[in-house]
Structure 1
Amino acid sequence: MRQTWRWFGPVDPVSVDDMRQAGVQGVVSALHHIPTGAVWTPEGIAARQDQIARMRDGAPSGLAWEVVESLPVSEAIKTQGPGWRDHVAAWTQSLRNLHAAGLRVVCYNFMPVLDWTRTDLAWPRPTGARCMRFDLADFAAFDIHILARPDAARDFPEAVRDEAARRFAAMDPDRAEALAANIVCGLPGAADRLSMADLRDLLASYAPVTEARLRANFDAFLEQVAPVAQDLEMRLCCHPDDPPFPLLGLPRIMSTEADYAERMAAVDLPANGITLCSGSLGARHDNDLPGMMRRLGDRVHFLHLRNVRRDADTVPASFFEDEHLGGQTDMPALIAAILDEEARRAAAGRADVQIPMRPDHGQDILDDIGRGGQPGYPAIGRLKGLAELRGVEAGLAHARGRS
């Protein structure tokens, strides 16, 4: 695996110098300040590359921007609303500009309205660490009582509705506001921030979009962008839904192995691939992560390795972000499947033998606590996770007679 690190640009409290000290091999970044639907210009791309290439004192960092995460897909594209074709054209032009700058791997997602969704961004653990959590009853309290989405109660079991009502009744205004802010946090580092009015408007725009319609719209997007990526020898990799089940009455269509297989078959090109995120997919008990890697590995272009622990084996379920070698995903088995795939690629003579991986999220520990970094992206917590993942990979490689 090629070890990478996500960086949100100059606003990120984890600096290029910090990445260099962590010993990563490459950087994952994006032009988060560019509004969704606009073209990423050659000048903007070059500026981010230059920022990554230099340390605080101006010395070369030895690092380069290697993976784009994310090139955002607009709501207009997802709903095929007004201007969606213009947005696809802008997305495609951004691809061409990224290619001209030497970038080849582009992560994106097709989640309606919200990116990752959590109800708590700093949930305390017995160790004193902090982590992100999705609590189903808290989310129901938001959906039914704070957002007051029509018919929201139908989407939750009776026991969850009852608990949500109890929790909402006990909330003071500050707690209700904090819960809402956590849920509409949106894409980390993005230019867009949603108000409650924005959220209601976006939900209304999805009123005619059924699950079947969203799948068809995704296929229409892929039919236009995947051939361009194929011609450019780029690799597109769709991130799964996070969490991997419907929220806010909206369909979610990248939550299971079957979802991924369907989208890859719809536009059957090597460029049309997968970001395998073990944390997002692991929030469903019926997702077999090592098995998915073995069966879909040929099209896995990017890896997010993290772990979650579910409160129950139901869909949906509450969960929290556990330590990288904790949680309910068998991380050594997953990494073994990744190494098997890399060995197959080497034997086939593929150029993309090493799959870029980043330690996804991480618990806030030690000096991370109170630093005010991007939720889920602490310096020390991710470094701990990276060290653990490196250790597993090194141990497995050694056992196989590889250095």
Structure 2
Amino acid sequence: MLSPTIWIVVWFMFASTLAVQSLAQTNTEESVVVFRISGQQSIRGGKFGSLAEFQHRLASAAKRCGIPIANEDRFADGTLGPQTFAVILKVAACPDFANSLATDDPARNGAVSSGLWRVVAPDLAIPDGHDRSHTMTLSYESTDYTDIEFNVGTTDPGILTWGPLGATAGQAQQVQAILLLVDQQSPQLIDQSFASEAHAIRLFANTHRTSSLEAQVSAVNASASRAAAWRHGFAALGAVKEVRDDYDIVMGDAGTAGIFEGVADFYCSYWANGWRPTEIDYAFFFDRAVQMDVRQAKTTKAVTAVRNVENRLQRSLSTAERRRAISANFTASPRWAEDRLARDVAYYIDAIPAASLTNRSLSSLRDDSLAMGPPVDDEAARWEARSGKRASDFGLSDERLSPAPPLMAKVRANCNAP
């Protein structure tokens, strides 16, 4: 039988342990959803991005817990799907990691949470709102640095598109700009990647006339062996970090792609009306700028249409309602209008129930005197068929404001936040 003194010591040690555990839980930083996988959907972050790195760390955590992963060599591909969901559930329940997660941590339901990320990949930065917005767009585009598409013979004026942000050979001629930058900095990469097609690639990179570009790409696409050589060559280039950096220089927020300028134009129009963009607003702006021709005149017209709706209803629209009104008044070209609407819904479905997304309510938002592009209907059905994704699946919220793109002060100096 233990003496009273020993009982006191045992009780004190037990109480101290509980206090330490309680203190640890109290000091635990709030864990929020970073990415959430719904059903059989997938979230694509690219095989060279932070999601692939997170999956590597997750696989190591699973191994530590004795959790087997089928086809482990292909697990860390940058795509979050049902398999990643299943592994997260098991790792979150593993004692080695479960004790470091709050009882209500979203990872316990299979989400990639900030809490799980900090435990599994403490040396890897958690994607911020801009990063997750870009991942949302990449999940729609479904292309990586190693991918190209031949567009000749279609209604797509891009002629040839490359990579996660859809660099085009037509229109802005971004593909040529990237290739020229690569050839300037590392000319051996063009020769190593394209072999006998290296001369044709250099000719292509220095061509700017649309008819000549179409002729060159058509000739390549008409030859199975040449088309394969180009696909292999671009895949080889995209696998090189220096090339990906060059791609980002051209397509990034300081480049000439026009994507981030389009986002900045949306910010200018919002700020002019006293509105401060949220995380979901930024994601909405970015996704549109990747797929569409976004310019200040167009964003101003779209926002004016929103203001007219508010005047007619005699109330302010919510952030989600604004995005829906913009979608109704600023549609894409006829070829992409239906797809654009299907993508737009993902940015307001969290706040506007699907049952409310009727054709009548959508058309009531359209101002024919300001509308750009054709009207489109059946938004909820198109969204469900296209993806069923939600901004909240990417951890995005209207409760948090989004910082402006880094280029704002440089290229939009006359635009000031309210």
TM over 0.5: no
Return the TM-score normalized by structure 1. Answer: 0.22
Bigger Cα Rg:
2
Return the TM-score normalized by structure 2. Answer: 0.22
